[in-house]
Structure 1
Amino acid sequence: MRTPDIAVTGLGMITPGGAGAAETWETVCAGRPVARRLPGLRGLPVDFGCPVEGVDLDAAVGGRKTWRMHRFVKLALIAARQAVADAGLDPERWDACRVGVVIGVGVGGVSVLTDNALRLHTEGPEAVSPLLVPMMIPNAAAGEVAIALQARGPSLAPATACASGATAIAVARDLLVSGQCDVVVAGGAESVLEPLVMSGFAKMGALSRRCDNPAGASRPFAADRDGFVIAEGAGVLVLERAADAAARGRHPRALLAGVGATTDALHPTAPDPQGRYAQAAVEGALRDAGWSPYDVGHVNAHGTSTPLNDAMEAAVISRVFPHWPPVTSAKGVLGHSLAAAGAIEAALTVLTLEEGIVPPVGNLDAPAAEFDLNCVTKQARSEDVERAVSHSFGFGGHNVVLAFQRGA
């Protein structure tokens, strides 16, 4: 039986680049890095990041239940509502048991955990909040989105570190292909710009130490890259079978043509240096889509600005795509939003297919001499892209690649 085409019919984003898809797209296309020093991180070895600003999250979520939600949940809910509205769907009218929610989260509400751990230590167990567990657990985002949208199909929270948002989209595709759901709201959310997590990432050497130049710190594929910059945010896509979308008169923003996923099974944090299994994920996505490498007109890279990841990914891209398709990474502008990154970058890939524009890599004049890459630098580039891939790689060796095609 033929696998049904899967349509992306809605996009939602709330990122350091803007409180919606259009604002984020404008910031990324302008190549304006948004990292800055944060008062809450003062005194730490790394005291900067990329926060979501300029929006009152409580007001945007609305209602009287925001008190029970951690920041990452609010971000997920805002992006999900944007995506559903963009898809032209009304939760009051859909078949709720046929609607799924898949929101990838890597960490969860760490600030709630640390605050309550201090209360326990200083004041005793009676001071611990009864909301500690429901606010802390990573699946709180999927649960609250499902509650808000009255989506009563499967509700899942994949945690594959920095690949979580992409994994969520891959799982959504499976729910649609298997017939379990007719609509899936899928993406990722993260908010961990707080001292404990920042200190942990800094201690392991993963973060850029350019405290004197936060805006210039994230520089994917540059020779002098020295680590990533942590961001927060959420990205959500609405996916449906293309035939179902057409039946309700909805034109797809793009088609999710293929998915590839592998695991390095090598090291908790470092990628396979040769990128063998990341390459297998890319090739799996191409095989699933029925494409040759030469069909791909653009690569939205994971591009973290770390020495090991960028070297591995550059080698994979040059081996798989010898025709030199234009490459970008949004992390030079938006920073690395961990579990949200794969979903945000999937949404940006969809916009590239729609708009015919590949955004530049922030803070990059030219890729390192050893990288054989066609990176878009300094300004956005007009490109008639019909097919593109989006890479996501996560601690634990998780590799997920999504293949998108322009909407028919």
Structure 2
Amino acid sequence: MTLSIAEPAKTPTLIHLWSYRLTFLLSGMSLGAWAPLVPFARERAGLEEAQLGLLLLCFGLGSMLAMPLAGMMTTRKGCRFVSLVGGALICGMLPLLASLSSFTGLALALAAFGAGLGSIDVAMNVQGLMVERDHGRPLMSGFHGLFSLGGIASALLMSLLLWAGASPVAAVSVVVLLVGGLLLWHARHLLPYGADDPGAPFAMPTGKVLVVGLLCFIALLVEGAILDWSAVFLNRTHQIDLAVAGGAYAVFSLTMAAGRFSGDYLRHRFGAVSLLIGGGLLVMIGFAMAVLLQPWPLFLLGFALIGLGLSNAFPVYCSVVGAQTAMPAGLAIAVITGIGYCGILLGPALIGFVAHVIGLRDALLCVGALMFAQVLSARRMVRA
């Protein structure tokens, strides 16, 4: 018995489009499944805060090390191949992350899990921008909206199963079966190539790709700041209980997902330049409201504006580097994603150092001000 492989046409059919969308959804589900496992892993291994921080760093290191290789492999072997390899790593590592109790074992499993997610991240973005180009209209924001939705849905599913009494291994096995089963089911519709002309397996990043990478660094630094510092800030400044202060990130995540689902229409209607400029301004206004205003409806509105403004930055930047011809799309995506990941990994620590000197309020205002770089560079980056 042979497996029939469907070769996608240049103009994607509806089944192909939904297969591409499903890859983003499954990637988000994989990431969302890890978050509820963190406290269980910490308890099993008996980790202190510093040890947990070092463990979590392994995820980012695994992703960053895998991304350049994934970019080359996507160009040479195709999006389908890299997506399946990444999916296999993810599905293999999640049960281990739910059961291992040694620091070394967890560190290795988390690095491999990060490598799987980093690989599928590169492949799905290369595939997304190739499909966007062939389809002739903006699609990347909607793809990334499904990534956000997958993360939210998976985290909620895991939390519900754990609340109902399921063990971490049993709960994560449900997600693994969903992710692995759906990935195998729709893999035949994924792109078997990663570039129209594979070219050289390696190319030095161009100036434009590096600048876009730095802009992604800023965008993901902002996301990391909200993830790691918003609850701490609200607790210290507004004396809001930590259990409730985490709601700021939930508001941020929901508006980011909503912004991405509307992003393709807005980009088609107003253009990528307007989307980047408007988004950057919304983030800066949102930081000012979230940090400076006291009434809780107003600072929550600030976090909502940050999520809305930030939502389409990375999808648009993927399209920007996909349009350049100096280096293969797979390698360019790997570069900007790798630099961007540095923002979400190193950014929160840098904010901590700055906050120690000037205070957390001013440090967060400085983070918001960094988005001025997106506003100033938008026209040049999109039209260069």
Choose between structure 1 and 2: higher strand proportion.
1
Provide TM-score, normalisation by structure 1.
0.31
Provide TM-score, normalisation by structure 2.
0.32
Choose between structure 1 and 2: higher helix proportion.
2
